[in-house]
Amino acid sequence: MKKKKSIKKEIIEWAIFLGILGFLFGTGLHTPVFGFFQGLILKTGIMQPSIDESSTESADYDFELIDQEGNRKPFTDFKDKVVFVNFWATWCPPCIAEMPDINDLYNEINSDDIVFVLISFDDNFQKARDFVKKKEFDFPIYQLASPLPKVYESNAIPTTYVISPEGKIVVKKSGMAKYNTKKFRDFLEGLKM
């Protein structure tokens, strides 16, 4: 008798769980909800990027972007600067989770020698522009206007790269991370020529 009750209880619990998941995915609320919980994890600081100042992998500047105003921008415009490149999308919960932290980092870095290039993988770039405006993020966003060079190909988003002024990829992080830390800010500042 007890066994039947526990099986019935388990079926009800699974039905409720699946119903909640169905509701979240059916309404599109899964992205902000999952992003919120992943953001809480980021606040702990346990997910930080690895820094490899001895990297010999060269960045590739041979591609073009389109900025928020619709202007074409060659990536070569960022040569000789520290470049923080982040690939993201509005439908990606880990991307949404790390965005406030990246925006804080962007606002705390006060240097013309450090640029932020957040490249949206949304099919509709207007959706990305609307998202950034709604969230009141200050960093610039872009979309690809040409094929992405092989060196930046990744199976995951978000993926973040930091390129030194010498054109070396010194950070490559697949998945979300907490970037606005004193250690990471000092690292970016230390890369400037």
Give the C-alpha separation, 166 to 30, whole Å. 41
Angstrom CA distances, 179 to 136, 151, 160, stand at 19, 22, 10
Angstrom CA distances, 112 to 44, 82, 102, stand at 30, 9, 17
pLDDT one-digit tens code per residue, 37-56: 565 556 666 556 666 555 67
| The CATH fold of domain 1-193 | Glutaredoxin (3.40.30)
**Residue for token pair 């960045």:** 59
| Structure confidence at residue 111 (pLDDT) | 85
> Domain coordinates of the chain in residue numbers?
1-193
Q: Which residue has the higher pLDDT, 52 or 81?
A: 81
pLDDT one-digit tens code per residue, 93-121: 889 989 999 999 999 998 889 999 999 99
Nearest 5°: phi and psi at 115? -115, 150
Q: Which residues partner with 85 through β-bridges?
A: 117, 161
Is residue 6 very low, low, confident or very high in pLDDT (cuts 50, 70, 90)?
Answer: confident
Q: Is 161 helix (H, G, I), strand (E, B) or coil?
A: strand
User: Crossing angle for the helix pair 30-43 and 93-108, nearest 10 degrees?
Assistant: 50
Q: What are the tokens at 193?
A: 């020529």
Tell me the pTM: 0.77
| Structure confidence at residue 3 (pLDDT) | 58
- pLDDT higher than 70, residue 166: yes
Q: Which residue has the higher pLDDT, 129 or 35?
A: 129
Give the C-alpha separation, 6 to 177, whole Å. 41
| Structure confidence at residue 98 (pLDDT) | 92
Q: What percentage of the chain carries pLDDT values higher than 70?
A: 78
Q: Which of 180, 192, 171 is nearest to 108 (CA)?
A: 180
